[in-house]
Amino acid sequence: MKSIYKKLGIFISLIIILLVTQIPLKVFAATNITDDGRAHQGYSQFRAKVNSGSSVTLRRRLDYGVGNQKANVYVDGSYVGSWYNSGKDTTYQWRDTDFTIPSSNTSGKSYITVRITFVSSDYDWNEFYYWIYSGSTLTDTVDIGNASSENSHSYIISNQTWTGTRTFQYAPRRVVDNGRAHQGYSQFNMRINSNNSGVSLIRRLDYGIGNQKAYVYVDGSYAGTWSNPGSDTVNQWREYSFSIPSNLTQGKSLINIKIVFVSSDYDWNEFYYWVSSNGVITDSLDVGNSTSEDSHNYFINNQTWSGTRDFTYPN
């Protein structure tokens, strides 16, 4: 008898271990990024590849722990404008900020020389990495602090105040969105590409409400169970996707989607839906926005909540 109980105990322990390992981690660790860089109270200068006649976006990775950094930007000796990042963040110190150079500064050129002259800040102007976009095309990158990248871009710096390496995190992405929640169902139309091999339905949700589960129907046919186990009450936004099988989508340019609440810690919430096929988003529904809802024949039954949330995504 004793050995049967022992075996039963081992069996139950195994089941508990299996169940526990199925539960996802609740808190996502923020990502540390290490980069080398420099800072100055004078100027820095580099040469970068551009597409002739394109407006160019300079994207800089900076240590935003140093507040209110302001510099003047010159392209091939001509003043373009002031690059100012007001404020600071001493918790999540990495930021990427953009400065736009008009197309008139790049016409007839495949390279430009950019000079960034310190104006003012809480201490100095720092730079860790530059991305150079011509229109939406990334045409060059400069890794400040990396000798070979600096040399190949004829990088120079005057009145340097610091050089070294920093390890920080980016701030979690913050989004304000309106939405709804239900314990019944919601239903809406979405435009899709008829030439598809299945469609992804993507939902922005408040993941602070845990373990949301619903049945998905497409044009009245059961498409599957959409289950998002776990929760996160710190960075509450998530975008999770559900795969609609191709037999319910092929040859159609419009589908009717019905989301039927099954279970959760409270209800099923929805702030935004997107549909994509072959990697292209073909339609989006901004739940909570009456114009967008009307144009998708959005309907909600047994609504438990509507309103606006200001959350972050995990970084």
Residue 201's alpha-carbon distances to 44, 207, 238, in angstroms, are 47, 17, 13
One-character DSSP codes across 6-22? HHHHHHHHHHHHHHHHH
How many residues interact with Ca ion (rule CB under 5 A)? Answer: 14
Residue 128 found at the interface with Ca ion (CB under 5 A): yes
Q: What angle do CA 178, 276, 204 make, to 5 degrees?
A: 25
Residue 271 structure tokens: 């702030």
**Is the Cβ of residue 35 or residue 76 nearer to Ca ion in the bound state?**
35
Task: Name the minimum Å distance from CB 41 to Ca ion.
Answer: 19
Beta strands 272-277 and 280-285, pairing class: antiparallel
Binding mask 238-277 for Ca ion (x = CB under 5 A): ---------------------------------x------
Judged by CB under 5 A, which of 63, 143, 267, 283 binds Ca ion? 143
Cα dist. 282→14, 248, 254, 275 in Å? 45, 16, 10, 6
Contact 228, 186 (CB under 8 A): no
Restricted to residues 274-303, the positions that interact with Ca ion (CB under 5 A) are: 286-288
Among 30, 36, 76, 306, interactor with Ca ion by CB under 5 A:
36
CA distance 208 to 236: 5
Cβ distance to Ca ion smaller for residue 147 or 254 = 147
Segment contacting Ca ion by CB under 5 A, of 21-29, 175-183, 218-226, 298-306: 175-183
Question: In the stretch 88-127, what mask flags binding to Ca ion with x, by CB under 5 A?
Answer: ----------------------------------------
- In the complex, which residues of this chain contact Ca ion (CB under 5 A)? 35-36, 128-129, 143-145, 177-179, 271, 286-288
